[in-house]
């Protein structure tokens, strides 16, 4: 599909930029500590091992951030968890994926998100969204999250957020080390600006990946209308409510909330109505 080609191109460009920033951090370390054999050996080890740590920590942090727990495979008095597992299995067969680990959480709003790779993916679904949606609508949400795993964009998002934080910390310590006037405040502002610059690059794929996942969900469920209704209900159900999670988790969710003009410029999600209109045009 054209959308997948464009998404892969965007991820390749953003990935290259993030890798360049990662190398820039290494260059700063060498500038500060010299190019001795020991420093280079430690830096090489850190450069190789740190991405693995970033990925694992980012995944763990997202799950822990919402207090997610494994979804039971049996139905309870209130929830038909067994039907969610069955629907996920059928969709995974259709999409050529291994079934991810299913988890459930109380997020305060109807929402869902995915983290991880194809081999170790995790889909977290809020109890609020299970209460809110009809069966075919929930199937659309599950397919949407599976699409993120299939398209590998969750890895780019988690790694990108972690690299943004790393770049921010490096800028902070560089400014502090130079003893600039204003001290901590100047260093903190410089750190925030650096993170914002990296975030702008991430936005190049963050909003677009939602359109692609919506399209995939419509394709694999063969029911774009159900996906459109799900977004309408999720948007209405989240109005005036706060999500029980950090902002980095919100960026991974199917619904990122509506914002004002400034927030729109740095929004992780496209406008919900545009997503709904696109689904109903298929």
State yes or no: is 145 an active-site residue.
Answer: yes
Strand order in the sheet with 101-105: 69-70, 101-105, 122-126, 112-115
Residue in 128, 137, 145, 215 annotated catalytic: 145
Nearest in space to 227 (alpha carbons), one of 148, 149, 136: 136
Q: Which residues are catalytic?
A: 145
């Amino acid at each position: 599909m054209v959308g997948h080609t464009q998404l892969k191109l965007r991820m390749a460009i953003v990935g290259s930029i993030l890798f360049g920033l990662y190398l820039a951090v290494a260059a700063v370390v060498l500038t500060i500590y010299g190019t001795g054999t020991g420093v280079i050996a430690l830096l090489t080890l850190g450069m190789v091992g740190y991405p693995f740590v970033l990925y694992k920590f980012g995944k763990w942090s997202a799950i822990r951030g919402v207090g997610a727990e494994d979804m039971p495979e049996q139905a309870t008095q209130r929830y038909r968890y067994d039907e969610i597992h069955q629907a996920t299995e059928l969709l995974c067969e259709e999409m050529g994926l291994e079934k991810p680990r299913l988890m459930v959480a109380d997020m305060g709003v109807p929402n869902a998100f995915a983290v991880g790779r194809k081999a170790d993916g995790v889909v977290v679904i809020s109890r609020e969204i299970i209460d809110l949606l009809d069966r075919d609508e929930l199937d659309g949400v599950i397919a949407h999250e599976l699409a993120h795993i299939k398209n590998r964009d969750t890895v780019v998002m988690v790694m990108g957020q972690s690299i943004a934080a790393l770049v921010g910390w490096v800028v902070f310590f560089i400014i502090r080390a130079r003893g600039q006037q204003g001290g901590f405040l100047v260093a903190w502002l410089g750190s925030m600006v650096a993170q914002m610059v990296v975030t702008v690059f991430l936005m190049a794929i963050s909003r677009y990946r939602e359109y692609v996942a919506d399209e995939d969900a419509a394709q694999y469920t063969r029911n774009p209308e159900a996906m459109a209704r799900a977004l309408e209900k999720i948007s209405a159900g989240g109005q005036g409510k706060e999500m029980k999670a950090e902002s980095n988790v919100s960026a991974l969710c199917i619904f990122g909330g509506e914002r004002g003009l400034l927030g729109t410029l740095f929004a992780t999600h496209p406008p919900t109505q545009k997503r709904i209109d696109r689904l109903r045009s298929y």
